[in-house]
Amino acid sequence: MTSEGNDAVRIGVLLAGGSARRAGVDKRFLVLQGHTLLQRNLAFLRSLFPIAAVSLGAGQMLDLGDAAGVQVLHDSWPGGSPLAGIATALRHFEEPVFALAVDIACPQRDAAEAVLAAFPGHDVSLPAIGGDYHQPLFAAYGPACLAPMTALLDAGRHRIVTILPDVRVAEVRFADDALFHNINTMDDYRDARRQAAESGDAPAADAQPALVAIVGKSDSGKTTLIEKVVPELVKLGLRVGAVKHDAHSFEIDHPGKDSWRHGQAGAHAYAIASPERLAFITKLDGEVPLADIARRYFAGFDLVVAEGYKRTAPHRVELFRVGAGHADPLCGPGEAIALVTDSTLPHEHRFGLEDGAGLARFLAVRLDSLRRY
């Protein structure tokens, strides 16, 4: 089968079978411009093709979060290689596919359209940079590629460009590989964040942050859980704020200090500022809702994690610990989006007490839904 017209390629396949140990974290969940790489690149494919699928290694599971509802393909060959993912997609769909690596930082529509425009009459269309460098993970593949790919995989070989002499290839020339910059290390990730900020593509400074509350009965260990999950969220590139609910009156300023005296003199609000910190203190006539605190004081943050607000938080993760002497959870069925527990209580999204990294990934792929409140 060969292509006849650009829309002959109807399927975009996100190659997401690796977890990138070189980066020190699962790079699929690194957040860029307010979304994980996984979600950004899946959304890119959905903008181009009527059908989008996610390719994973054999037996691999992946939480798609807010991007749920797409077809998931598991490799028909072991090894979790991009070649296995592309071959599996060709075998499954029996028509051309466009393959995109999950770790390409900022895929460009113009570049994809150039690759697709060159595909008719060929079996592969891919970017070519310089004399002999190709980018096979931003490319269109036709069904004629399946036989040479299968031969390679059956021989335990996984280098995609090895098939090029055996198929009809359209090379699309690009001056450099900047458009196909992929993230392998945290230095690569920091470069991508800086470039996004310089290009003006970063989220607006006044964007509403995502919001979630860690709730649970007294002495469950909510603060300890927050101490575990916040560093993992920061590793994924999120700017995180925190709110602690106190049912009683509290004092963070010290009697006798100049700032305290400002308040005693009648100032309704006052601030203490230094080169490292800023504290704003205001008198209230009533409690400020958590959502208003998040919007008013954490604009521009990716995520606000609150401790408490067990009845009013719009999104709750419950910590239920039988080791603390609790027999029943605080939340009723369907009230908590996730459960962190040392019990056998079932939940669709259940995490162990020490799995701060797992909970962080769970939250990172749900930023869009956590922004709705």
Position 160, amino acid: I
Give the pLDDT confidence score for residue 202 in this predicted structure: 58
Give the pLDDT confidence score for residue 183 in this predicted structure: 93
Which range has the worst mean pLDDT, 17-26, 40-49, 55-64?
A: 17-26
**Long-range contact pairs involving 151-159 (C-beta distance under 8 Å, separation at least 24):** 152/83, 153/77, 153/79, 153/81, 153/83, 153/84, 153/87, 154/77, 158/79, 158/81, 158/82, 158/83, 158/84, 159/83
Give the pLDDT confidence score for residue 262 in this predicted structure: 84
* CA-based nearest residue to 26, from 63, 54, 55: 63
Average pLDDT of the segment spanning 50-78: 92
Q: Does the pLDDT at position 4 exceed 50?
A: no
Q: Does the pLDDT at position 3 exceed 80?
A: no
Q: How far is Cα of residue 270 from the mean position of the Cα atoms in its chain?
A: 38
Q: Per DSSP, what are the bridge partners of residue 23?
A: none
Q: Does the pLDDT at position 263 exceed 90?
A: no
- Determine the angle formed by the axes of helices 82-93 and 146-154, rounding to 10 degrees: 130
More confidently predicted of 222 and 263:
222
Give the pLDDT confidence score for residue 161 in this predicted structure: 95
Average pLDDT of the segment spanning 180-201: 85
Asked if 64 and 38 touch (Cβ cutoff 8 Å), the reply is: yes
| Per-residue pLDDT tens digits for 114-132 | 999 999 999 999 999 987 8
Query: What stretches of 94-221 show up as alpha helix (H) in DSSP?
Result: 109-117, 146-154, 186-199
Nearest-angstrom CA–CA distance, 349 and 345: 11
Nearest-angstrom CA–CA distance, 8 and 6: 5
Burial of residue 94 (CB within 10 Å: 0-12, 13-18, 19+) is exposed
The phi and psi torsions of 212 (rounded to 5 degrees) equal -145, 150
Q: Is the pTM of this model over 0.75?
A: yes
Nearest-angstrom CA–CA distance, 306 and 368: 17
CATH of 6-199, one of 3.40.50.720, 3.90.550.10, 1.10.8.50, 3.30.230.10: 3.90.550.10
- Examine domains 6-199 and 210-370 and report if their fold is the same: no
Q: State the pLDDT confidence band at 284, using cuts at 50, 70 and 90.
A: confident
SS3 state at 261? helix
Average pLDDT of the segment spanning 215-236: 96
Average pLDDT of the segment spanning 46-69: 92
Asked if 336 and 272 touch (Cβ cutoff 8 Å), the reply is: no
Average pLDDT of the segment spanning 184-203: 81
Structure-block tokens of residue 302: 């990716």
Give the pLDDT confidence score for residue 204 in this predicted structure: 58
The phi and psi torsions of 127 (rounded to 5 degrees) equal -65, 140
Q: Which CATH class is domain 210-370?
A: alpha beta
Q: State the pLDDT confidence band at 253, using cuts at 50, 70 and 90.
A: confident
Q: Does the pLDDT at position 236 exceed 60?
A: yes
Q: Does the pLDDT at position 251 exceed 60?
A: yes
| Per-residue pLDDT tens digits for 144-179 | 999 999 999 999 999 999 999 999 999 999 988 888
Query: How many beta carbons lie within 10 A of that of residue 78, not counting itself?
Result: 12
Q: What's 59-116 look like in SS3?
A: CCCCCCHHHCCCEEEECCCCCCCHHHHHHHHHHHHCCCEEEEECCECCCCHHHHHHHH
Structure-block tokens of residue 32: 């860029």
Q: Per DSSP, what are the bridge partners of residue 282?
A: 269
Q: State the pLDDT confidence band at 198, using cuts at 50, 70 and 90.
A: confident
Q: Does the pLDDT at position 206 exceed 80?
A: no
User: Taking the domains of the chain in order of start, what are their residue ranges?
Assistant: 6-199, 210-370
